[in-house]
Structure 1
């Protein structure tokens, strides 16, 4: 689905943050990116999501070379790829349902955008996405009144409503209590299994990566030093990543 070859990212002062990173990521995978502070996790995710320019490298998506995407390709990627920050940007005064329906921007007619009206079908669709992340009962509550974990799940539902086939999430469970973190990761796992979603998440919690991911990337000094099916890592593997 996604092939990246020799992704390199340099800062303006010449510092190399990512060095010739290559991988293939496929539908249905939940990939956990783990590494110590300064390993390049956030930069890698932003580059994958095309939020930051690459210094060099090649990107292929569904068989098409998008290293230098045309404007039509950029519109397609904005529909099909979603990037979730550690703290999702949402209007805290909107309800969970209206927030999710905000992801339907590219699918809504100009008339409905101008009049801010929602069709019955769109309303039902929004409720369906909230149900997928276990928040159907919170549909009419304002986002500002939801817990951190619930807000993350609303952000996931909004990305699904957008039509995302790929979700790149930077530390989606950071700062959450254990129960909420488990629920967010379980949502990601279920969606990847049931909808062929590809999710790439940076994580500090190695235990959750081992439990919920299908694949683990270990990042150290801007390079993927470990790429294995998710399981309990050996001490040698942990040393590769965190030494």
Structure 2
């Protein structure tokens, strides 16, 4: 179980509060959709939960153990539990899909492995297994620059799994995708929650969050205003966001 208490994040240049004393708990196997208007703090919340940005205030624990220091920063060890998927995954366009999965993202793998490309044999096979699981084995030797948007998102998910992430946060992972590709990505995310007990937290449009997620968080003006599980949002709840 992960527990967040009083998460506060300020914009360093202006001192403006982006996230205002947010508290929540979440656990294994949940697929959580974050909904809210543009500028409400959804992206910053995802980055904070994935330990990709420093907290100004608040505590973050897993099974009772702290994930961040008093300064609001996280160690590389703790960061490795989390993956952050951007809207447009930053893959190396000149390396194959398989090589991208092996090397991973900054924050997931040590700098020396990303620099040298050194991998273990079990990592090699693990990457092939994940590519096969998500229907991408035929893309293993294809340069990432030639993959579609949906394929790149699924490659990014494979990267997170191969490098041991327990919690995956995704910032609008299906923006710009056609409906079929969007469904394929969201089905992939849901399957890793159901089959592997991973936790996925994704910023999504309300209709997709209602369709795919087991729980919905509503964010407005940097505050958590909704936490609804197992059902669609009511009309009055939608007005809050």
TM, length-normalised to structure 2? 0.89
1:3 maps to which residue? 3
The change in CA–CA distance for 1:68 and 1:210 in structure 2 (over 3 A counts) is: same
Distance 2:208 2:62 in 1: 28
The change in CA–CA distance for 1:100 and 1:4 in structure 2 (over 3 A counts) is: same
Matches within 5 A, 1:1-243: 1-12=1-12, 13-68=14-69, 74-103=75-104, 116=117, 120-203=121-204, 205-241=205-241
Deviations 1:201-241 (A, max 9, x none): 112x2111111111100111111111011432211111111
- Name whichever of 228-237 and 41-50 sits farther off: 228-237
1:131 CA displacement? 1.9
CA contact (8 A) 1:96 1:154 kept: yes
Deviations 1:172-209 (A, max 9, x none): 11111111111111100000111110111112x21111
Distance 1:195 1:91 in 2: 27
Higher helix share: 1
Distance 1:47 1:5 in 2: 12
1:112 CA displacement? 8.7
The change in CA–CA distance for 1:83 and 1:182 in structure 2 (over 3 A counts) is: same
Count of aligned pairs: 238
The change in CA–CA distance for 1:137 and 1:220 in structure 2 (over 3 A counts) is: same
The change in CA–CA distance for 1:210 and 1:113 in structure 2 (over 3 A counts) is: closer
CA RMSD of aligned residues (A): 2.6
CA contact (8 A) 1:106 1:162 kept: no
1:115 CA displacement? 7.4
CA contact (8 A) 1:182 1:208 kept: no
SS in 2 for 1:130: helix
Deviations 1:107-140 (A, max 9, x none): 999x998975656543321111112222122111
The change in CA–CA distance for 1:107 and 1:35 in structure 2 (over 3 A counts) is: closer
Distance 1:232 1:221 in 2: 22
Deviations 1:26-82 (A, max 9, x none): 011111101001111011111112222222111112320233179xx7122232211
CA contact (8 A) 2:103 2:119 kept: no
SS in 1 for 2:55: coil
